[in-house]
Amino acid sequence: MSFVSKKMQGKVPYEPNCGNFRLRLDANESPFPLDGGVRNKFIEALNDTDSAVSALNRYPDPSSLQLRLAFANRYGVPVENTVAGNGSDELISIIMTSLMDKGDTLAVANPEFSMYAFYAQLSENTVFYTDKDENYSLDSLLSFVKENNCRAVIFSNPCNPTGMGFDRNAVLNFVESCPALCIVDEAYMDFWDQSILDSATKFENLIVLRTLSKAYGAAAIRAGFAVGHKSLIDALSVARSPYNVNSMTQLLGKLVLENESSNKGPYLAAQAQKLADVLSKLLPDATFYPTRTNFVYLKTEKAKTIFDSLIADGIAIRYFPPCNLRITASTDEEHAILCKSLENILKSL
C-alpha cells in the first residue's frame, strides 16, 4: 500500500540546471547584479534596530503592503487590486487551488511554461491541451475554450518558451470574448510594450501575473504579483498563507521597484534582437522565432549536438527536444564568448 496520493505517483520534480558554468544562459535571468544603492539601503535597514526587516524574530507584514504599494506606484494600478506571492509560481498554484474546483478544466496551448499544467494537475484540475496555430493568433484558443467548456485558460505573453507575443488589443479582445477565467502571465512583458496590466481590474474574469525575476534581476528574492478584479484578488488573499512573503523579500522588492535603474528590460530586449541576428548568421539553416523577450528561441536539427557541446564547454543554454534551443540574452562580452564557442562547435560538425 502506498501512502503517496495517486495524483503524485509518477510525478517528477522540476529540475533546473544547477551545475557550475562559466556562462549561464539557460534560465532567462538578468546578467546584472542588484544596483549598489539598493544593496546599501537594504544593509542599512538590516542594521537599523527600528526597521521591521531587522526584527527577524517577528513575522513579516502579512499583506506585504509596502511591497504592493511600490508595485502599484510603479505600474499605475490600484494597490487593493494586487496580491503578492513567493514568486509568481506560488500565485499560479494558489489560483489553481482557490479559483478552480476539483475536476474543473484548464486550457493550455502548447508550447507553454510546463508548470501551468503541473499546478493544475496537483490541484486535481483537468488540463485540456491544444497547439498554438500557425498564425500565432488567439482565435483558435478561444474556440478551443468555448468548445470544451473550460473553466479557465492560461498563457504567457510574451510566450515562454517561444518568445513570441500577442499584441495588447488581441489579448483584450480575447478576454472580453472568453467565458472562462483568463490568467495572463506577463513575466516577460517588461521586455515589450503590449501589457494589459492597466486593464486588469476592468474584467471580472482576468488575472495578470508579473514578476521581479527577469528584467529587474531579482530572481533570488522570489517576488511575484497578481493583479485583477477585486473579487478575484480577495479570494487569492484569503487562500494564500498568512505570511507568504518574507520580510527581506518585501523590503528588497520595494527597494528594487523604487529604483529607476533596476528595470533592464529595454536594454535586454535590444540585446536579444542583436543575439538573434548574430546567431542567424552562424546557423543559416535554423528557424528563428521573433522574440519579444530577453531570449532567443530557435529550431535546428543540430539542437542536441549544440546543447551538449556548449554544456561541455561550460556554457548552459536550454534544450527542448527534439529540435529547439532557448538562449538567454546577456552582455556583448558574454555573447562574444557564446558565439566563439558555437563557431568552434559548428566547425567540428
Pair 115, 214 in one domain: yes
Residue 344 falls inside a structural domain: yes
Residue 253 falls inside a structural domain: yes
pLDDT of residue 251: 95
Per-residue pLDDT reduced to its tens digit, 55-76: 888 999 999 999 999 999 999 9
Report the percent of the chain where pLDDT is more than 90: 83
Mean of all residue pLDDT scores within the chain: 93
pLDDT of residue 269: 98
Pair 317, 273 in one domain: yes
Report the percent of the chain where pLDDT is more than 70: 98
Pair 152, 206 in one domain: yes
Q: Which of 258, 286, 313 is the last residue of a domain?
A: 258
Residue numbers of the domain that contains 334: 16-32+264-348
Domains of the chain: total: 2
Pair 155, 86 in one domain: yes
Note whether 128 and 107 are within 8 A (CB). yes
Give the CATH number for residue 232: 3.40.640.10
pLDDT of residue 258: 96
Secondary structure string (H, E, C) spanning the chain:
CCCCCHHHCCCCCCCCCCCCCCEECCCCCCCCCCCHHHHHHHHHHHHCCCCHHHCCCCCCCCCCHHHHHHHHHHHCCCHHHEEEEEHHHHHHHHHHHHCCCCCCEEEEEECCCCHHHHHHHHCCCEEEEEECCCCCCCHHHHHHHHHCCCCEEEEECCCCCCCCCCCHHHHHHHHHHCCCEEEEECCCHHHCCCCCHHHCCCCCCEEEEEECCCCCCCHHHCEEEEEECHHHHHHHHHHCCCCCCCHHHHHHHHHHHHCCCCCCHHHHHHHHHHHHHHHHHHCCCCEECCCCCCEEEEECCCHHHHHHHHHHCCEECEEECCCEEEEECCCHHHHHHHHHHHHHHHHHC
- Interatomic CA distance for residues 100 and 180, integer angstroms: 11
Q: Which of 230, 258, 286 is the last residue of a domain?
A: 258
Q: Give the burial string for 60-73 (b: 16+ CB within 10 Å, else e).
A: bbebbebbbebbbe
pLDDT of residue 93: 95
- Distance of alpha carbon 87 from its chain centroid, rounded? 9
Pair 106, 254 in one domain: yes
Residue 161: pLDDT band with limits 50, 70, 90: very high
pLDDT of residue 1: 61
Q: Which of 204, 232, 258 is the last residue of a domain?
A: 258
Q: Quick check: 329 pLDDT over 90? A: yes
Residue 35: pLDDT band with limits 50, 70, 90: confident
Pair 199, 305 in one domain: no
Section 154-159 average pLDDT: 97
Residue 237 neighbours by CB under 8 Å, 6+ apart:
63, 83
Residue 270: pLDDT band with limits 50, 70, 90: very high
Q: Evaluate the CA torsion angle 195, 152, 245, 187 in order and state its sign.
A: negative
Residue 6 falls inside a structural domain: no
